[in-house]
Amino acid sequence: MHVTVKLFATLTRYGRGERAGTPFIIELSEDATLHNLVSHLQIPPEETRIMFVNGIIQESDYRLKDGDEVGLFPPIGGG
Domain boundaries, the chain: 2-73
The model carries a pTM of: 0.90
Which residues contact residue 49 at a Cβ distance below 8 angstroms, ignoring those fewer than 6 apart?
73, 74, 75, 76
- pLDDT greater at residue 50 or residue 78: 50
- What average pLDDT is seen over the chain? 93
Does the domain at 2-73 match CATH 3.10.20.30? Answer given as: yes
Q: Is the pLDDT of residue 79 over 80?
A: no
Q: 40-77: per-residue pLDDT in tens?
A: 999 998 999 999 999 999 999 999 999 999 999 998 76
Closest CA to 32 of 72, 74, 2: 2
pLDDT at res. 27: 97
Q: 2-39: per-residue pLDDT in tens?
A: 999 999 999 999 987 778 889 999 999 999 999 999 99
Query: For residue 40, what is the DSSP state?
Result: H
Neighbour-count burial of 74, counting CB atoms closer than 10 A to its CB (0-12 exposed, 13-18 middle, 19+ buried) = middle
